[in-house]
Amino acid sequence: MEHVEIKGIIPPIITPMHEDESVNYEELRNQTERLIESGVHGIFALGTNGEGYILTRDEKKKVLETVIDQVNGRIPVYAGTGCISTRETVELSREAKAIGADVLSVITPSFAAAGQEELYIHYETLAMSVDLPIVMYNIPARTGNALERSTVERLAKIENIVGIKDSSGDFDNMLEYISAGRGENFSVLSGNDSLIIRNLLAGGTGGIAGCANVFPKTMVSIYELFVEGDTEKAKAVNESIGEFRACFKYGNPNTIVKLAVSMLGYNVGNCRAPFNLVSPEGKTAIKRVLEVCKEKGMC
């Protein structure tokens, strides 16, 4: 297994779509290049912001092929391969490896309730089946299944389970994960953009940041400033996205992010129905926030 440093700002790249909801692969290349030019440390295809939950198997493969081809080895590509069943997760993960993914990002199974031993066996089986670094993905509000600290501690001892993205929004939970992985080659990434600097200060290694689709250079600077030792400025930059994040009250966060990128002038389209509606009030608020952010040089 090739070593990949799990660190920095890694955007879960949006999946552009045409008006008929087919994937716009040409614009996907444009967005990939835009993010790379902004200095991101990796790109995560097929994540929540990439609408991996609503793409067909063939679309997932083609999205991943497109991103990997455009990246051309310049930065690591993370592939979201988590499915409800262990069997399908293994199959998609093997396909991602064959396509050329560098890292697997694997969300917990969803809908049916899973016990901690079931979750352990799910990830252990995957790790034994695919020789790629695996970053687990904890987002219980969406899946209904949370990885407990004790389970993460056990899984962190498996060689190719190298990290976890925590999108619980609970900083204490993130601290538990950081503690659980201490002493192992294990990274903890924040899935909540507002917690990235706190993650870094606590011993985490960065964030998989949806807002990096909107403000890639701004988000990258949080990590770069931290590495340079300018913690106070890094904190201020992290706080600067708060007004945009406040717009998440108007709809699904990934719907808001995609709409914002569209408002910046990129041909990314809407999210696939039914997750594609934002009220007129919400659109006005997002537009106003983006105007302020532009004046500040954030986007």
What's the Cα-to-Cα distance from 272 to each of 68, 226, 292, rounded to whole Å? 23, 36, 28
Q: Which of the residues 25, 78, 120, 137 is marked catalytic? A: 137
Q: Which of the residues 60, 61, 165, 258 is marked catalytic? A: 165
Q: Note the Cα 68 to chain centre separation in Å.
A: 16
Q: In this predicted model, what pLDDT tens digit does every residue of 279-297 receive, in sequence order?
A: 999 999 999 999 999 999 9
Question: Is 137 a residue of the active site?
Answer: yes
DSSP 112-158: S---HHHHHHHHHHHHHH--S-EEEEE-HHHHS----HHHHHHHTTS
Q: In this predicted model, what pLDDT tens digit does every residue of 101-139 receive, in sequence order?
A: 999 999 999 999 999 999 999 999 999 999 999 999 999
Instruction: Give the pTM.
Output: 0.96
Q: In this predicted model, what pLDDT tens digit does every residue of 80-94 receive, in sequence order?
A: 999 999 999 999 999
Question: Is 250 a residue of the active site?
Answer: no
Take residue 158 and report the two structure tokens written for it. 């498996």
Q: Which CATH superfamily is domain 8-240 in?
A: Aldolase class I (3.20.20.70)
Q: Which of 87, 74, 15 is nearest to 39 (CA)?
A: 74
Mean pLDDT of the chain: 97
Domain boundaries, the chain: 8-240
Residue 42 near residue 103 (C-beta atoms within 8 A): yes
Residue 122 near residue 86 (C-beta atoms within 8 A): yes
DSSP 219-261: HHHHHHHHHHT-HHHHHHHHHTTHHHHGGGGGS-HHHHHHHHH
